[in-house]
Amino acid sequence: MGTRMPLIVIIVSICIGLFIIAKEKFITESERPNLDLQKWWGPGNRPEIEDNSIRPFNIEFNDTMIKDLKQRLKNRRRFTKSLDGMQSFYGINADYLEEKLTYWESKYDFKKRIESLNKFPHFKTRIQGLDLHYIRVKPKVKGDTQVLPLLMLHGWPSSSKEFDKVIPMLTAPRDGYQFVFEVVAVDLPGFGFSEGTNKPGLNPVQMAIIIRNLMLRLNFEKFYIQAGDWGSQCATHLSTLFPDNVLGFHTNMPVSSRPISMIKLLIGSLFPSLIDSDRPERVYPLKKYFNYLMKEGGYFHIQSTKPDTVGYALTDSPAGLAAYMMEKIAICSNRNQLDTIHGGLDNLDIDDVLDTVTITWMNECIVTSMRIYAEGVSSDEINAVHNIPTKVPTAAIKFLDEVVYQPNWILRDKFHNLVQSTIVDYGGHFAALHTPKELVDDIFEATVKFMKYHSTQKE
């Protein structure tokens, strides 16, 4: 050996040094920010008398909307052909897009899809000035079967429609379990049929407050949560700020955004197989992981900085809206199928995908939904809440092609009581549509552990 220290020893020494120097910044928990729990997000000022009514709601694809949409699709410009052999590497394939737009225009059964969407009871109520839409399904139970309230939160680009495959399974009694769920599936503000705001600052922390107030409106003082994507961020903040309301949190996109977690991610790259004995290849080597994020994260940067510009273009063109949304849904369903014409989208039912696109089109909510990126990237209150651990019992299920993967030793920075962690070597980001059975099975198993955790705490 030479006299020079091995490179790895130098790197480790630097990391340890930085860790010690930055201990105060990266390890110390933040204090709970002072938050207005009744902040007004509606237009104008808060009225003297607020409307607290709960109103039944029926989804409609009216004939005028359908006729206009079909006419726009029919009159669309034909797209520049995709490059030979590039399949989906440059974005959604032109031939595939033409095929799906033709299907949307001529074969997608609007009336049948409406019937499917309306098979559940829908409601609206005004919370802090915004009309929120939600599905509420009460199970039919016999005997001593316990009914547990379950709040479900989606992400982008989506709505409560994402849960229509899992709701029947969650609300039906199953062998081996003495409980079943009453599901409340909410459209986040500015998504689906929920109203957006004209005021800046509606970030996931503020959405968490709104959604908690919705659950209190529905007389649920304590409840379980299942969420993914931005819904998981809202649910994480809700669990952090209001732990007395949350009995358990199940997520298919578990993320710790504490500063210490970022440092540990880097340190883990030095000894990945020792640090993460489960699936280190999902995040290491970091060069491969960051290359993926850089290649597929351009939309994130655009929507985090200038969401309105691209949003206005998508609002005016159903073909453009479908292309943009379907390409993002595809890559999150299987990132390793860019060498196919569908780019990953064929992992989902095309009618489910077009339900989501149609709901976004008819409600003109692509702009208000995309703004969650600009509002949610960084602010003093978001950063503070990120850096506060939660002791709410938490369960994570990690599907293969989820956008973000973190090993348990990092997740526990945020979720001190991670009672269950499931690794699945298939599936993707839209778990409720892609792998509904696996998701529901995991929710039931996790809830048993949530209940055991609480019974242990009482002893």
On whether residue 239 sits in a domain, the answer given is: yes
pTM (2 decimals)?
0.93
Q: Which of 187, 141, 143, 144 is nearest to 163 (CA)?
A: 187
Cα-Cα-Cα-Cα torsion 376, 379, 380, 383, nearest 10 degrees, comes to 50
**Is there a cis peptide before residue 285, judged by omega within 30 degrees of 0?**
yes
Judge whether 243 lies within some domain. yes
Identify any residues that bridge with 126 across adjacent strands, giving them in sequence order: 131
Q: What is the pLDDT of residues 258-283, one digit of tens each?
A: 999 988 888 888 877 767 768 888 98
Distance, in Å, from the CA atom of 208 to the CA atom of 458, rounded to the nearest integer, reads: 27
State the pLDDT at residue 322. 98
Number of structural domains, the chain?
A: 1
CATH value at residue 316: 3.40.50.1820
C-alpha 111, offset from chain centre: 28
| Closest CA relative to residue 433, chosen from 336, 332, 297, 337 | 332
The DSSP code sequence of 232-250 is HHHHHHHHHH-GGGEEEEE
Residue 24's pLDDT is: 52
Would you write out the chain's pLDDT as a tens digit for each of its 459 residues?
Answer: 444 455 555 555 655 665 555 555 567 788 889 999 999 999 999 999 999 999 999 999 999 999 999 999 999 998 999 999 999 999 999 999 999 999 999 999 999 999 999 999 999 999 999 999 999 999 998 888 999 999 999 999 999 999 999 999 999 999 999 999 999 999 999 999 999 999 999 999 999 999 999 999 999 999 999 999 999 999 999 999 999 999 999 999 999 999 999 888 888 888 777 677 688 889 888 888 889 888 999 999 999 999 999 999 999 999 999 999 999 999 999 999 999 999 999 999 999 999 999 999 999 999 999 999 999 987 889 999 999 999 999 999 999 999 999 999 999 999 999 999 999 999 999 999 999 999 999 999 999 999 999 988 876
The whole-number pLDDT of residue 2 equals 44
Domain range spanning residue 148?
54-258+297-458
> Is residue 121, in this structure, part of any structural domain at all?
yes
**What separation, in Å, do the N-terminal and C-terminal C-alpha atoms of the chain show?**
59
Structure tokens at 106: 């001529």
Q: Identify the DSSP state of 251.
A: E
Query: Is residue 37, in this structure, part of any structural domain at all?
Result: no
User: Given this model, what pLDDT does residue 1 score?
Assistant: 42
Rounded to whole angstroms, how far apart are CA atoms 181 and 174?
Answer: 11
User: Residue 38: inside a domain, yes or no?
Assistant: no
Q: Is 334 within the bounds of a domain?
A: yes
Which pLDDT tens digit goes with each residue over 163-179?
Answer: 999 999 999 999 999 99
Q: What ranges in 282-402 are assigned the alpha helix state H?
A: 286-296, 298-305, 307-316, 318-333, 350-363, 366-376, 380-386
179 lies in a domain?
yes
Look at residue 288 and tell me if it is in a domain.
Answer: no
Contact 386, 242 (CB under 8 A): no
Residue 264: the pLDDT is 86
Active-site residues: which are they?
A: 229, 373, 429
